[in-house]
Amino acid sequence: MEESSLSRAPSRGGVNFLNVARTYIPNTKVECHYTLPPGAVPSASDWIGIFKVEAACVRDYHTFVWSSVPDSATDGSPVHASVQFQASYLPKPGAQLYQFRYVNRQGRVCGQSPPFQFREPRPMDELVTLEEADGGSDILLVVPKATVLQNQLDESQQERNDLMQLKLQLEGQVTELRSQVQELETALATARQEHAELMEQYKGLSRSHGELTEERDILSRQQGDHVARILELEDDIQAISEKVLTKEVELDRVRDTVKALTREQEKLLGQLKEAQADKEQSEAELQMAQQENRRLNLELQEAKGRQEEQSAQAQRLKDKVAQMKDSLGQAQQRVAELEPLKEQLRGAQELAASSQQKATLLGEELASTAGARDRTMAELHRSRLEVAGVNGRLAELSLHLKEEKSQWSKERAGLLQSMEAEKDKILKLSAEILRLEKAVQEEKTQNQVFKTELAREKDSSLVQLSESKRELTELRSALRVLQKEKEQLQEEKQELLEYMRKLEARLEKVADEKWNEDAVTEDEEAAVGPSCPAALTDSEDESPEDMRVPPYGLCERGDTGSSPAGPRESSPLVVISQPAPIAPHLSGPAEESSSDSEAEDEKSVLMAAVQSGGEEAHLLLPELGNAFYDVASTIFRGAQIALHPLSPAPPPSPTTRSRGEGRGKRDFII
């Protein structure tokens, strides 16, 4: 690594170190959390070192670890990472200040942390005071900070688990919504395909309807032409009938001309045979047309299910109609061929008029005219039959067209309804798809927010966990120190109790000497009885046994009525401020464990009072005043109660007085 000068302040937009403590405990792992700025590309060659604050180059590190490369790095967002320094490589405790520094692969410092120290924990640094309201009174609880942090860590872990469950539920809902969207898209595609097919069918039916309409118009025009032609033929027949009636009068005159016309009649017969053959051929064609008509009717009935073949069938119908038109034209030609016969008939009439010799010829001509009339009537009948067939076929086609039109109208109405329904369905599906897409987008946004919050909570939980572990380690160290101090205090307590036992023995000895002096004084006063009768009378009831210390407990209340009256009764009720029980037989283990701090305060007061004691304690009692006398008397009375529980209680000392209540002492009423 090449040397480079270091900046004292972190560069703007550089690496930011998180949750850097002011002090760290040695011999424990140190976890360092940091955040890379947006756009920074982490590398496995980057490293994080612990430097002294005054270090001037990157080689002056105490220890270092390689930085971790996150897997889930996203562009445009900061990257959180952490590393651990092993306990064996950390600096020794002291007043030296250190800081974390992030060095990239080029040897340039990209960020540094606030300074911190490595030192041993103090016993009372890691305690937290909590206030709780219990029964209307405030209670102060002193608990380890690790407990509070552990509770917070448990709450964070529980909240993280809840967020993970919520995330899983939301992912399941997103999956269901996506499947629903896919199903709706599939249904929409199917509906669109069906709609396209229905539109194609609708267009085909529209084209078929147009073709049928055109064919119907053509057949209607043909029917009008046929009717007009029939009317013309009827007029011609009527005119011919009138002429025939006229010619019957002249029949006798033209009989002579019949023979002359016989040969011509034979020719006409030949022509008639040809016409008959043509007629038979026309009748065969008519039968074929009728058969074709029946076949077309069958095909029209089958055309309901085959709409694609309607155009071809219509074309065949047009061809047949054209053939019928040709047949009708041929019939008209045959009728036109009768015109020469009419002219010949006129010539015969002229011949009959010019000469009666031609009467036979006129008769023959009349006969030929009658034959022509018969042929004309036959042609008319055939034309009528053809027209009737065409009319029947036209009626059938019209009926079929009406049926097709009604069916087409129904199908069109059904298609329109289905199209409207499909349009409504498509609109609903589009609205549903938009709503689902919006919901999916919202779910994605919310899921992204949850992921971000979850990542933030995870980082915070990891930081808190590392902090909790570090604080737990510090608390354990502090607990070991407190345990050692407690053992020392226990030893001091045992020594103090031993010293208190010795002091009680000395105080009892002093009380016995005082009692002996009082007894000697009373004996002397009793010896001077004759000189002082009043005093003797007053002290008759005061025997040496009455002057002895009665049974008395440190926690009992004295009864003034049970003690005999005497000159020492200066006040009926006196309050003594007495320390905690100092006799071993009066202080149980449970009381010692429940009031250690109070006992230590009382012992410190007592030790301050008797620290100049020892073998010369009886010399210091007058100088210390009545307090030690009261304590000694109380201890002596407690001992007497234990030895003689039935002995009467002595009168209280007039020098007894009350102590203050604000120094943690116990009050007893005598």
CB 90 within 8 A of CB 63: yes
Domain harbouring 21, CATH code: 2.60.40.2840
234 and 363 together in one domain = yes
Residue 522: the pLDDT is 82
Token representation of residue 257:
């001309």
Residue 539: how many other CB atoms lie within 10 Å:
17
Q: Which residues pair with residue 61 across a beta bridge? A: 51
- The rounded percent of the chain whose pLDDT value lies above 90 is 12
Residue 604: the pLDDT is 54
pLDDT tens across 227-265, in order?
888 888 888 888 887 887 877 777 777 677 767 767 776
Is 173 within a domain?
A: no
Determine the straight-line distance between the first and last CA of the chain, rounded to whole angstroms: 86
CB 1 within 8 A of CB 58: yes
207 and 354 together in one domain = yes
Task: Choose the weakest-confidence range: 22-36, 55-69, 427-441, 620-634.
Answer: 620-634
CB 48 within 8 A of CB 83: yes
Token representation of residue 551:
């049974």
What is the radius of gyration, based on Cα positions, of the chain?
A: 70
Is 360 within a domain?
A: yes
Confidence band (pLDDT; 50, 70, 90) for 52? very high
pLDDT tens across 503-518, in order?
888 888 898 888 888 8
Residue 98: the pLDDT is 96
Which of 66 and 273 is assigned the larger pLDDT?
A: 66
Which residue is it, tokens 């020492």? 568
Boundary-marking domain end, from 120, 148, 165 = 120
Is 258 within a domain?
A: yes
339 and 232 together in one domain = yes
Cβ-based neighbours of 572, under 8 Å, separated by 6 or more: 560
Residue 138: the pLDDT is 60
Residue 641: the pLDDT is 57
Classified as helix, coil or strand, 340 is helix
Residue 321: the pLDDT is 74
Is 533 within a domain?
A: no
Q: What does the pLDDT average to over 173-177?
A: 90
Residue 139: the pLDDT is 65
Q: Residue 219: name the closest of 391, 52, 351 by CA.
A: 391
Token representation of residue 344:
């010949």
Confidence band (pLDDT; 50, 70, 90) for 459? confident
217 and 322 together in one domain = yes
- Please, how many CA atoms are within 13 Å of residue 221, restricted to the half-sphere of its CB? 7
What length does the chain have?
670
pLDDT tens across 304-350, in order?
667 666 667 677 777 877 777 787 777 777 767 767 766 776 766 67
Which residue is it, tokens 């909240």? 159
Describe the crossing of helices 359-527 and 617-624 by its angle, rounded to 10 degrees. 100
Which of 535 and 284 is assigned the larger pLDDT?
A: 284
113 and 207 together in one domain = no
**Dihedral angle sign, alpha carbons of residues 33, 37, 41, 47:** negative
pLDDT at 644 over 70: no
Token representation of residue 543:
């025997």
pLDDT at 297 over 70: yes
Is 241 within a domain?
A: yes
Confidence band (pLDDT; 50, 70, 90) for 359? low
Cα dist from 239 to 235, 342, 363, 369, whole Å: 6, 12, 20, 13
pLDDT tens across 547-605, in order?
444 444 433 444 443 443 443 433 433 343 444 444 444 444 444 444 455 555 555 54
If residue 35 lies in a helix (H) or strand (E), which one and from where to where? Answer: strand 30-36
Q: Give the integer Cα–Cα distance in Å for 320 and 330.
A: 15
Is 101 within a domain?
A: yes
Mean per-residue pLDDT of the chain: 72
pLDDT at 12 over 50: no
Residue 360: the pLDDT is 67
115 and 215 together in one domain = no
CB 208 within 8 A of CB 401: no
Cα dist from 354 to 253, 265, 366, whole Å: 11, 22, 16
Residue 551: the pLDDT is 43
- Per the structure, the count of domains in the chain is 3
pLDDT at 109 over 90: yes
Token representation of residue 329:
């034209």
Q: Residue 380: name the closest of 231, 583, 523, 268 by CA.
A: 231
CB 255 within 8 A of CB 368: no
If residue 48 lies in a helix (H) or strand (E), which one and from where to where? Answer: strand 47-52
Which of 294 and 311 is assigned the larger pLDDT?
A: 294
Classified as helix, coil or strand, 474 is helix
CB 395 within 8 A of CB 294: no
Task: Name all contacts of 40-43 with Cβ < 8 Å and 24+ positions apart.
Answer: 40/15, 40/79, 40/110, 42/67, 42/68, 42/69, 42/70, 42/73, 42/79, 42/81, 43/67, 43/69, 43/104, 43/105
Buried b (16+ CB within 10 A) or exposed e, 575-602: ebbbbbbbeeeebeeeeeeeeeeebbbb
Residue 50: the pLDDT is 96
Whether pTM exceeds 0.95: no
211 and 99 together in one domain = no
Is 196 within a domain?
A: no
115 and 214 together in one domain = no
Confidence band (pLDDT; 50, 70, 90) for 539? very low
| DSSP assigned state of 133 | E
Residue 258: the pLDDT is 66
In DSSP notation, 210-249 reads: HHHHHHHHHHHHHHHHHHHHHHHHHHHHHHHHHHHHHHHH
Boundary-marking domain end, from 330, 355, 383 = 383
Describe the crossing of helices 359-527 and 145-249 by its angle, rounded to 10 degrees. 170
Residue 55: the pLDDT is 92
Kind of pairing between the strands at 137-144 and 127-134: antiparallel
Is 177 within a domain?
A: no
Boundary-marking domain end, from 83, 105, 120 = 120
Q: Which domain holds residue 550?
A: 503-510+543-669
